[in-house]
C-alpha cells in the first residue's frame, strides 16, 4: 500500500510516532495538510509542551484552543495542549496541587491508593504521565465525535507513546476496581441507612464510572480497528533508530494497534563530491537494506534529507509530496 492509499482509507485516527527528533511532527503536519486539501476535515493535536506544531507550521497555535489553519485549501484545525495549564485546571477542580506533570499523583491521592488491588495495578503498569493522560482524553473526546473526519496525533518520543498505549488497559482495570469498591460501599451504605433510617438519595457515581469505562472501551476498540486507526512509525536510517522502532513495533503488536507504515526519513542524498555525504549515503543504504528485511511485511516510505529545515506551509506541502 502507498501512503496515498492509506490516506484514502477514511481513517478516524492517525497516530504518528517514533524516536525523538526523527521527523514525527513534520510527517504529522504534512499528512494533515494533504488530507485537508483532499477535502477531509482534519484536526492535528500535539500534547508536546515544546509547542512543535506551531513551529512546524510557523504559526501560533499556543492558545490551547482549536485553531483553524489559514492558507490551506480545506479544513485543517490545530490544537496544542499545554500539559501544565491543563494540570493547573485539574488541580483547581480537585482542590489539590499537582506539582509535577505526573498523572500518578492524582491516582495516588490519599484515600484512592487504599482501594483494594490498586497498588498492584500501579506496580504492574506505571500510570501515565499528564501529557499521555491528556492525549488519551482527546482520543476519548473525539472517538464519538463526528465533526472531524480524521484526528492526527503528533505523539511525543517513544517512551511517552508506550505509556499512552498502556492507558486503556490501565483505565479499564482502574475503573473496574473503582466500580467494585463503589458497589460494595453503596450496598453497605444502603444497609446502614435502612437500619438507621437515613434518607435514600440517588447516587450516580456507579453510572458515571460505568459510562467512563464504556467510553474507554469504545476508544480502545477504535484504536485497534485497522479500518479506523493507523499508527505511522517514523525513523531515520541509523541502527539506534532501527532498534527503537523494533521495540515500538513489539509494543504496538502487544496492544493490537494497527501499524503498517514505516517512514524512513532524512536519508542522505548521494553526492560523490562530498566525502561526508557519500559516506553517510553508503551507511544509510546499508541500514535501509536491514530495514527492508527487519520490516518485511510493512510498507516502507523513504524520504531524503532536505538541504533545509521543513518549516512553514510551502515546505510542508513539498515534504508531503515526497512522502506520498
Ligand atoms: N527530511 C528532512 N530533511 C530535512 N530536515 C528535516 C526532515 N525531516 C524533518 N526535518 C527537520 O528536523 C527537525 C526535527 O523534525 P521534527 O520536529 O518533525 O521531529 P520530531 O520527531 O517531531 O521531534 P521531537 O521528538 O522533538 O518531537 C526539524 O527542524 C525538521 O524541520
Ligand atoms: Mg515533534
Question: What is the per-residue pLDDT across 233-250, written as a single tens digit (0 to 9) for each?
Answer: 999 999 999 999 999 999
Q: What is the mean pLDDT of residues 120-149?
A: 75
For residue 147 the three cell numbers come to: 465533526
Does the structure show a pLDDT above 80 at 83?
A: no
For residues 299 and 260, what is the distance between their CA atoms, to the nearest angstrom? 6
For residues 134 and 137, what is the distance between their CA atoms, to the nearest angstrom? 5
For residues 127 and 106, what is the distance between their CA atoms, to the nearest angstrom? 10
CB 235 near ligand 1, within 6 Å: no
Residue nearest to atom 29 of ligand 1 (CA): 309
Residue of higher predicted confidence among 167 and 40: 40
Among 15, 17, 19, 21, which is best to mutate for testing ligand 1, by the most ligand atoms less than 8 A from CB?
21
Q: Which residues contact 107 (CB under 8 A, 6 or more apart)?
A: 113, 118, 122, 127, 174
Phi first, then psi, for residue 286 (nearest 5°) are: -65, -45
Does the structure show a pLDDT above 70 at 307?
A: yes
For residues 183 and 320, what is the distance between their CA atoms, to the nearest angstrom? 52
For residues 69 and 114, what is the distance between their CA atoms, to the nearest angstrom? 47
Ligand 1 atom at minimum distance from 303 CA: 1
CB 153 near ligand 1, within 6 Å: no
CATH class of 3-268+298-323: alpha beta
Q: Tell me whether strands 76-80 and 67-68 are parallel, antiparallel or unpaired.
A: antiparallel
- The neighbour count for residue 297, using CB atoms within 10 Å, is 5
Q: What is the mean pLDDT of residues 126-139?
A: 73
pLDDT on residue 121 = 57
Q: Is 245 helix (H, G, I), strand (E, B) or coil?
A: helix
Ligand 1 atom at minimum distance from 266 CA: 1
For residues 198 and 25, what is the distance between their CA atoms, to the nearest angstrom? 58
Residue nearest to atom 11 of ligand 1 (CA): 309
Does the structure show a pLDDT above 70 at 127?
A: no
Kindly state the percentage of the chain with pLDDT values over 90. 47
Burial 196-218 (b: 16+ CB within 10 A, else e): eeeeeeeeeeeeebeebbebbee
Q: What is the mean pLDDT of residues 23-34?
A: 96
CB 263 near ligand 1, within 6 Å: no
Q: What is the mean pLDDT of residues 26-50?
A: 91
Q: Is 9 helix (H, G, I), strand (E, B) or coil?
A: coil
For residues 87 and 100, what is the distance between their CA atoms, to the nearest angstrom? 9
For residues 81 and 55, what is the distance between their CA atoms, to the nearest angstrom? 14
Burial of 98 (0-12, 13-18, 19+ CB in 10 A): buried
Q: Which residues contact 269 (CB under 8 A, 6 or more apart)?
A: 277, 281, 304, 305
pLDDT on residue 78 = 96
Residue of higher predicted confidence among 320 and 131: 320
Start-to-end CA span in the chain (Å) = 11
Per-residue pLDDT band for 157 (boundaries 50, 70, 90) equals confident
Most confident among 39-48, 84-93, 132-141 (mean pLDDT): 39-48
pLDDT on residue 99 = 54
Whose grid coordinates read 517512551? 159
Q: What is the mean pLDDT of residues 290-296?
A: 94
Q: What residues form DSSP beta bridges with 14?
A: 152, 230
Which residue from 257, 242, 315 is spatially nearest to 18, judged by alpha carbons? Answer: 242
Query: For the chain, what is the mean pLDDT?
Result: 84
pLDDT on residue 247 = 93
pLDDT on residue 199 = 67
**pTM for the whole structure:** 0.86
Residue of higher predicted confidence among 158 and 282: 282
Q: Which of 189-198, 255-264, 275-284 has the lowest mean pLDDT?
A: 189-198
Residue of higher predicted confidence among 121 and 232: 232
Q: Which of 16-25, 226-235, 270-279 has the lowest mean pLDDT?
A: 270-279
CB 311 near ligand 1, within 6 Å: yes
Amino acid at each position: 500500500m502507498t501512503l496515498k492509499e492509506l490516506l484514502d482509507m477514511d481513517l478516524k485516527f492517525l497516530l504518528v510516532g517514533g524516536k525523538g527528533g526523527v521527523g514525527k511532527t513534520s510527517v504529522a503536519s504534512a499528512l494533515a495538510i494533504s488530507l485537508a486539501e483532499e477535502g477531509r476535515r482534519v484536526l492535528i493535536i500535539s500534547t508536546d509542551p515544546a509547542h512543535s506544531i506551531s513551529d512546524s507550521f510557523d504559526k501560533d497555535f499556543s492558545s490551547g484552543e482549536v485553531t483553524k489553519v489559514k492558507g490551506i485549501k480545506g479544513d485543517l484545525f490545530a490544537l496544542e495542549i499545554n500539559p501544565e495549564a491543563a494540570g493547573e485546571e485539574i488541580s483547581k477542580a480537585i482542590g489539590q496541587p499537582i506539582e509535577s506533570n505526573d498523572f500518578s499523583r492524582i491516582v495516588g491521592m490519599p484515600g484512592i491508593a487504599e482501594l483494594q488491588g490498586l497498588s498492584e495495578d500501579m506496580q504492574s503498569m506505571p500510570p501515565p504521565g499528564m501529557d499521555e493522560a491528556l492525549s488519551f482524553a482527546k482520543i476519548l473526546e473525539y472517538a464519538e465525535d463526528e465533526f472531524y473526519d480524521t484526528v492526527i496525533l503528533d505523539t511525543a518520543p517513544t517512551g511517552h507513546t508506550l505509556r499512552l498505549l498502556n492507558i486503556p488497559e490501565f483505565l479499564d482495570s482502574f475503573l473496574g476496581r473503582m466500580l467494585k469498591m463503589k458497589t460494595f460501599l453503596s450496598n453497605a451504605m444502603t444497609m446502614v441507612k435502612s437500619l438507621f433510617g437515613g434518607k435514600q438519595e440517588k447516587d450516580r457515581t456507579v453510572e458515571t464510572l460505568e459510562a467512563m469505562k464504556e467510553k474507554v472501551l469504545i476508544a480502545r476498540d477504535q484504536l485497534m480497528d485497522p479500518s479506523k486507526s493507523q499508527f505511522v512509525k517514523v525513523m531515520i536510517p541509523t541502527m539506534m533508530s532501527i532498534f527503537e522502532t523494533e521495540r515500538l513495533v513489539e509494543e504496538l503488536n502487544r496492544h493490537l494497534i494497527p501499524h503498517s507504515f514505516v517512514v524512513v526519513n532524512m536519508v542522505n542524498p548521494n553526492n560523490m563530491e562530498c566525502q561526508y555525504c557519500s559516506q553517510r549515503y553508503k551507511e544509510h543504504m546499508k541500514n535501509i537494506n536491514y530495514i527492508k528485511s527487519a520490516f518485511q511485511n510493512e510498507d516502507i516510505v523513504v524520504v531524503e534529507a532536505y538541504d533545509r529545515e521543513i518549516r512553514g506551509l510551502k515546505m510542508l506541502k513539498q515534504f508531503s509530496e515526497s512522502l506520498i
